[in-house]
Amino acid sequence: MKVVTRQFGELEVSEEQVIHFPKGIIGFEDCRNFIIVNDEDFEPFRWLISLDKKEIGFPVLDPFLVTEKFIKEFPRKVVQELRNERALMDVFCIVTLKGERGSVTMNLKGPILIDYNKREGRQIILTSEDLSVSHPIS
C-alpha cells in the first residue's frame, strides 16, 4: 500500500510493516497504526510514523544507546519479554528538539515497546523518579 507522510513523502508499505498500537500513544490515542522508518541520514534515530494521521511522526531512539541503567526500571514481566530468546522486540523512546539552542532530549518515562512477531506496539509508563521525560542526549 502507498502512504503519504509529512517527513518522507510517499512510501510503499507492506502489511507486515504495520505495527498496531491497541491503546495508541499518550496524547495520540486515536493513532493506532504505525510504521517504523529507517533513514540512513539520521541514524541511529528512526521514525515512528502514524498511518492514521499523516502529519504525526515521532523521532525515536534506542534508549540503551544513551543509558545502561534504564532496564532496571522496567517491570519484571517486561524484562522477561525482552529477554525471551524467541522475542523479536525493540525499545524506543520519543525524542524531542527543544528551544532555540536545539537541545535534544528523550522521554525515558514513557518508552515504546515494539513486538515484531505480533506486529504490536505499546507504550509503558515507568514511575521511577530517576527517569526524566526530558533526558538530555546532546
Whole-number mean pLDDT of the chain?
Answer: 89
Q: pLDDT tens-digit profile of 28-47?
A: 999 999 999 998 888 999 99
- Kindly tell me the sign of the dihedral angle through the C-alpha atoms of 1, 117, 120, 37: negative
Contact 93, 108 (CB under 8 A): yes
* Mean pLDDT (whole number) for 66-88: 81
How many separate domains does the chain show? 1
Structural domain span for residue 132: 2-136
Q: pLDDT tens-digit profile of 104-127?
A: 899 999 999 999 999 999 999 998
Contacts of 35 (CB under 8 A, 6+ apart): 3, 11, 13, 17, 18, 19, 48, 49, 51
**Beta partners for residue 92, in sequence order:** 112
Give pLDDT, residue 46: 95
At 96, which CATH number? 2.30.290.10
